[in-house]
Amino acid sequence: MANLMKINNAFLKILATRISQYPTDELPEFLLVGRSNVGKSSFINTLIGQKNLARTSSTPGKTQTLNFYLVNNAFYLVDVPGYGYASINRDMQKKMGLLIEEYLENRKQLKRVFMIIDFRIKPTEDDILMYQFLKYYDIPVTIILNKCDKVGSSKYDKNFKVIKENLDISKDDNMIMFSSLNKKGRDEVLNLIETLLVETI
């Protein structure tokens, strides 16, 4: 296997609440989606190897804008607010939901969606809707089974099965076990990103 991609630099380049604020440099983008508090921001920190670049919190609703992290001056990781959290500010939540949908339908630079789900539990109704949305628009997706550090290996097979069945996962979508706690899956995701970037050139 090729050497693991090195992260030379990464920083938050743009915080967006509307389309006109998105980057215009046309670099490839990777978007994270998932339930609030599932670990999207932690996933970014783990990939780039910085503890606190993306703000995380044990209370849901931490990420409020579309956050474009520029990595190696070559691609963006895009962090978004999570779904399934009844926030106080419903109008804002609705606005961000529509913005994410619009992004998914139209963004040409989008190379892959990382849909993060909680490996410990059955997919929620919102997870199922999101997956169906991605399938409907034929958007390439990789499922990240997060927080696997919290699951004993004796439960792996069962949890896999429950998730596969409930999301009705297509055969050709890959799933990656991940943990921001012990970094499991990090190399696999970085290799995948690298492969997709090469395809772009």
List interacting residues with ligand GTP (CB under 6 A): 34, 36-42, 56-58, 60-63, 81-82, 146-147, 149-150, 179-181
- Other CB atoms within a 10 A radius of the CB of residue 9 amount to 10
Q: How far is the CB of 98 from Mg ion (least distance, A)?
A: 19
Q: How far is the CB of 34 from ligand GTP (least distance, A)?
A: 6
To which H or E segment does residue 10 belong?
A: strand 10-16
Long-range own/partner contacts, residues 48-51 (CB < 8 A, 24 or more apart)? 48/7, 48/10, 48/77, 49/7, 50/10
Phi/psi for 10 (5° steps) reads -155, 135
Name 32's bridge partners.
114
Residue nearest to ligand GTP (CB): 82
* 40 or 186: CB nearest Mg ion: 40
Q: Which of 45, 46, 63, 179 forms a contact with Mg ion (CB under 5 A)?
A: 63
142 binds, among Mg ion, ligand GTP, none (CB under 5 to 8 A by kind): none
180 binds, among Mg ion, ligand GTP, none (CB under 5 to 8 A by kind): ligand GTP
* 28 or 81: CB nearest ligand GTP: 81
